[in-house]
Amino acid sequence: MISSQQVARLSAAMPFWLTYILPPLVWLGAVKGGAWILLPPLATWYLFSALDAALGLNEENADPLTPDRQLIWHRLGVMLWAPVQFATLVSLIWYVGHSGHLSALEKFGVMFGAGVMSGSVGIVYSHELMHQKNRLERRLGDWLLAMVLYSHFRSEHLLVHHVWVGTPRDAVTARYNEGFHRYYPRVLHECPRSAFRAEAALLARRGLPWWHRRNPFWLYAGLQLAMLVLALLAAGWSGLVFFLVQAGVAIWQLELTNYVEHYALTRRSLGGGRYEHVKPHHSWNSSHTATNWLLINLQRHSDHHYKPDRRFPLLQTYAETDAPQLPYGYPIMTMVAMIPPLWRRIMNPKVKAWRCHWYPDIEDWTRYNRGQTPMPRAGG
């Protein structure tokens, strides 16, 4: 017999399982074509944002000391996504590659919808999994990243971003006034290189060369190559195109999210290449209810960087006095980021207010705005 405690745990986890509506929606688009291909982006970007407007903020915090055994339904929802996305993606590639009822535009729409699924959910879930110590969870995270050809993200995120967030050494921290269309090619160029250098440096500290088998880039290459070959076998060159398009859409969504999460927020330089510890005020926070269901509390990003080992159900949210708040959830904010003048109009005043509140002694921010260390006020 199921106990009341088990029912309560299942009920708490169920909203996070809403993401499982996406594979059927992508399939509906593939089978029916027409306007049905719009369902995945409409659901992720607009439906959850509309639910945010209806449900408001969720500022309740779970007990951060809750043991893993009480989070089984939360964990299971994340772990099962990898095989579900894999099966959905491969079967879609085969189906679209062998069906003749879709126009070229409709096929692109299905590819785009698959990328929305892989980016809005798959990469977010891989992010949760890569932070865990459990080997199975980490491998599931690697598998999800291989499905979008972005395996280096694990190394870059854990070894570079979390160490150097809010500093000029972190490519992912968007600079003040840096529009997304300048940011995006920059991170696509810089992040794989910084990820490889970080892994090579880690091996060197252990007395091993970069080409040693313990370098995860060998694993990344193998998994990504396997996915490319599988797409080719499933539907030939059209299958490969499908796979590449959905991967591109997913990567675009990831980097839009990265852009929003830390835009123009910086840690104080302590000199000698050292910086203050990461605090909640070094990430943009959002407590919007429904989009946190969609993104498994990724929007509680202030706490994630403050306590990276916390599982997503235990991430804490903060008041505006402790962490800067986004006016809307990530789906709306990422759409705004695609229009740089609108983005600057909304976010630059917030950045200026944040600087005045947390760093009133720093008067010259121009060097940081160029990706350099800001200068403190004389005597500050």
> Span 132-152, mean pLDDT?
97
More confident residue, 222 or 4: 222
pLDDT, the chain, mean: 94
Q: How confident is the model over 31-89, as pLDDT tens digits? A: 999 999 999 999 999 999 999 999 999 999 999 999 999 999 999 999 999 999 999 99
Q: Please write the tens of the pLDDT for every residue from 186-211.
A: 999 999 999 999 999 999 999 999 99
Taking 70 as the threshold, does the pLDDT of residue 120 lie above it? yes
**pLDDT over threshold 60, residue 365:** yes
Check pLDDT > 80 for residue 372. no
- CA dist 103 and 201 (Å) reads 49
Please report, for the chain, the start and end positions of each structural domain, with discontinuous segments joined by +. Answer: 4-359
Q: CA dist 335 to 21, 155, 184, Å?
A: 22, 27, 14
Q: What pLDDT does 7 receive?
A: 86
pLDDT, mean of residues 354-374:
78
Tokens of 167: 């500093």
| pLDDT confidence of residue 273 | 87
Residue 380 has pLDDT above 90, yes or no: no
Single pTM value for the model? 0.94
Q: How many angstroms separate the CA atoms of 94 and 129, rounded?
A: 28
The pLDDT tens digits of the residues spanning 226-272 come to 999 999 999 999 999 999 999 999 999 999 999 999 999 999 989 88
CA distance 291 to 286: 9
